[in-house]
Every structure is written in structure tokens, then in C-alpha cells.
């Protein structure tokens, strides 16, 4: 379905157009870069952020998303961050220079976030009398949460009122849980090695598999063309499994 169609549903399209990596060690669902580029276009960006008449700043934000943050936008939207909250979140990403290259974010559980918040709260409160700490309890809890070392909290900056916060623990957990399909690696035939930690391998099928003496089984996979950088031809990678 085209992104400009009247019945277009971005959430459904982001889920329905995922496919399974054929890498047999870690088969995972992923969304192709080509499909993401088709779905996340300027009109969709404005629509999902509830922008009817974009100003110059909105156009600059859309340009940032299209160039550097399509995956962030898709993950946030899939995690239920929509409308004006999505608009605010993407502005924060742009202002903090947080883009797709920062993915995947390091996951933290709600308990881990709360534990770090408790640590900062106790540190801030210890610099006051017990009465002062009690009188400023709400502010100290907010400042303590602001201090938690999580990429999404850091990207938002200092929040003064909890009601205005984008990245509460629920939204953080939802975002973390939606990352994987958008982490298919971008590869290059001009690089000797790649950091593939936490990323899905965009393999679409085995082209051949056979035994090679003491080297075990050699399997050749074809990489999706839109996941190759700086190349003019389809490329295959080799995976060795020692017997």
C-alpha cells in the first residue's frame, strides 16, 4: 500500500512488511531499508506528528528524520509514541544529535532505572536537612530521574514537571522492545570487518552449502542490495561452522 493512500495505516505496514532473515544461527524478523524508505516519507512524518501546516522548523525536523532518523521515528511510532508527543520526541533527538547511528540503545529494566533514580535521590537529599528534603521531594525525584544514564532520558534533557516527560519507564520499555526489526545491518564490501552486535543480518537465502574438509560447513548467503553500501553489484558473505 502506498504511503499516500487514504487507507494507509503506518503501524500495520511497519509490522506486516517485515520478513525473516535466513541466517540460521539467529533468524529474526526485520524491515528492509528499502521498505522503511518507502513508508517514512515527508507527508507521513507530518501526518503522524499532527502537523497540518509545517513551519520552517518542522521542515528542518522532517529533513533530519529522512536523512538520519527514519529508524528512530519508526521505532518510536511502533512503541505508541504518536501525535504531539512524537513531535516533541523527534525534536529532542534532533537537538541532542541522537540519530539512527546510536541504535541499538542499551536496554534497562524498570527496576534498574528505579535503582539508579533512588541513588541520585539519596545523593541529592543528603545535601539537605531532612525537612528540606521532604519539602522538595517531588523536585528531587524529578531531578534524580533526569540524571539516570539512559540514552532516551539523556536525549530529552532536563525535565521540570513529570507530567511533561516523554520517556517514562513504560515508554522506555516499549521502545526497547520494538527495536529489533529495525536493526538490520548495513554492510559494505569495502570494509574488512563489521560491528554486528545486536543487529539482524539482512540475508535473504542460502545460495549454496557444502562440506569443505576440515573447515566444516561453508554456507554462502546473499545480502539484500539495499543493505549494501558503496557497491554496484550483489554481494554474498561466507559463514563458517566448525564441525
> Over its length of 243 residues, how does the chain's per-residue pLDDT go in tens digits?
556 655 579 999 999 998 877 665 666 788 888 899 999 999 999 999 999 999 999 999 999 999 999 999 999 999 999 999 999 999 999 999 999 999 999 999 999 999 999 999 999 999 999 999 999 999 999 999 999 999 999 999 999 999 999 999 999 999 999 998 998 765 556 655 555 555 566 566 655 455 555 555 655 556 656 655 655 454 444 443 333
Q: Are residues 47 and 74 in the same domain?
A: yes
d(CA 30, CA 50): 27
- Whole-angstrom CA distances from 18 to 21, 64, 71, 138, 225 are 10, 24, 14, 43, 16
Which residue blocks in the chain are alpha helix, DSSP H? 10-16, 33-39, 42-48, 56-68, 70-78, 83-95, 110-125, 130-135, 137-146, 151-156, 169-178
Q: Are residues 121 and 79 in the same domain?
A: no
**Residue 230 belongs to domain spanning:** 187-241
Q: Are residues 14 and 98 in the same domain?
A: yes
d(CA 148, CA 166): 14
d(CA 241, CA 218): 7
Q: What is the SS3 assignment for 210?
A: strand
Say what the pTM is. Answer: 0.80
Residue 121 within any structural domain of the chain = yes
User: For the chain, how many structural domains are there in total?
Assistant: 3
Q: What is the SS3 assignment for 211?
A: strand
Residue 36 within any structural domain of the chain = yes
Q: Are residues 89 and 130 in the same domain?
A: no
DSSP structure class, residue 47: H
Amino acid at each position: 500500500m502506498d504511503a499516500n493512500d487514504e487507507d494507509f495505516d503506518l503501524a500495520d505496514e511497519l509490522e506486516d512488511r517485515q520478513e525473516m532473515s535466513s541466517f540460521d544461527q539467529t533468524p529474526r524478523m526485520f524491515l528492509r531499508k528499502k521498505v522503511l524508505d518507502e513508508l517514512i516519507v515527508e507527508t507521513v512524518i507530518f501526518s503522524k506528528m499532527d502537523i497540518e501546516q509545517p513551519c520552517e522548523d518542522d521542515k528542518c525536523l522532517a529533513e533530519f528524520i529522512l536523512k538520519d532518523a527514519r529508524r528512530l521515528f519508526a521505532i518510536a511510532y511502533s512503541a505508541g509514541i504518536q501525535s504531539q508527543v512524537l513531535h516533541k520526541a523527534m525534536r529532542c533527538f534532533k537537538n541532542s544529535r541522537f540519530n539512527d547511528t546510536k541504535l541499538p540503545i542499551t536496554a534497562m529494566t524498570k527496576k534498574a532505572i528505579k535503582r539508579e533514580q533512588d541513588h541520585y535521590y539519596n545523593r541529592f537529599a543528603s545535601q539537605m536537612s531532612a525537612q528540606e528534603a521532604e519539602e522538595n521531594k517531588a523536585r528531587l525525584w524529578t531531578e534524580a530521574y533526569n540524571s539516570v544514564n539512559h540514552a532516551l532520558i539523556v536525549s530529552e534533557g532536563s525535565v521540570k514537571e513529570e507530567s511533561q516527560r516523554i520517556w517514562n519507564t513504560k515508554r522506555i520499555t516499549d521502545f526497547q522492545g520494538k527495536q529489533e526489526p529495525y536493526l538490520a545491518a548495513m554492510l559494505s564490501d569495502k570494509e574488512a570487518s563489521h560491528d554486528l552486535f545486536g543487529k539482524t543480518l539482512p540475508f535473504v537465502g542460502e545460495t549454496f552449502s557444502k562440506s569443505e574438509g576440515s573447515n566444516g560447513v561453508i554456507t554462502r548467503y546473499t545480502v539484500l542490495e539495499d543493505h549494501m553500501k558503496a557497491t554496484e553489484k550483489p554481494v554474498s558473505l561466507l559463514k563458517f561452522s566448525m564441525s
